Amino acid sequence: MRQLFQQASHYRIVLCLLLLASPGAGQAQEMNVSVSGLFPPSKALLTIDGQPKVVAVGSTFNGVKVISVDETGATLEFGGRKQFVPMGSHYAAIAGRDQESANAKSITLAADARGHFAVSGTINGGHMQFLVDTGASFISIGMQDAKRLGLDLKGASMVYMSTANGTIPAYKIRLAEVNIEGIVLYGIDAVVHDNMQGFALLGMSFLNRMEMKRNGQTMTLTKRY
Extents of the domains making up the chain: 29-98, 103-223
Read off the pLDDT band of 191 (50, 70, 90): very high
pLDDT higher than threshold 70 for residue 3? no
Whether this model's pTM surpasses 0.95: no
What mean pLDDT is predicted for residues 151-169? 86
Q: Among the CATH numbers 1.20.58, 1.20.120, 3.30.1330, 2.30.30, which is that of 29-98?
A: 2.30.30
Q: What is the mean pLDDT of the chain?
A: 78
Q: What is the DSSP secondary structure assignment for residue 22, as one 8-state letter?
A: P
pLDDT higher than threshold 70 for residue 16? no
Helices (H), 55-182: 99-102, 143-149
Residues 6+ apart with CB under 8 A from 131: 5, 116, 117, 118, 199, 200, 201, 202
Residues 6+ apart with CB under 8 A from 113: none
| Distance of alpha carbon 96 from alpha carbon 21, whole angstroms | 5
What mean pLDDT is predicted for residues 138-157? 92
What is the model's pLDDT at position 162? 79
Helices (H), the chain: 99-102, 143-149, 204-207
User: Which H or E element spans position 160?
Assistant: strand 157-163
| Distance of alpha carbon 86 from alpha carbon 72, whole angstroms | 6
Between 26 and 86, whose confidence is greater?
86
Between 33 and 99, whose confidence is greater?
33
What mean pLDDT is predicted for residues 48-70? 87
Q: What is the DSSP secondary structure assignment for residue 5, as one 8-state letter?
A: S
Nearest to 81 by CA among 58, 64, 93: 64
| Distance of alpha carbon 225 from alpha carbon 166, whole angstroms | 35
CATH superfamily of 103-223: Acid Proteases (2.40.70.10)
Read off the pLDDT band of 123 (50, 70, 90): very high
pLDDT higher than threshold 80 for residue 30? no
What is the model's pLDDT at position 146? 94
Read off the pLDDT band of 80 (50, 70, 90): low
| Distance of alpha carbon 23 from alpha carbon 32, whole angstroms | 18
What mean pLDDT is predicted for residues 52-64? 89
User: 161-178 pLDDT, tens per residue?
Assistant: 877 777 889 999 999 999
Report the percentage of the chain scoring pLDDT > 70: 76
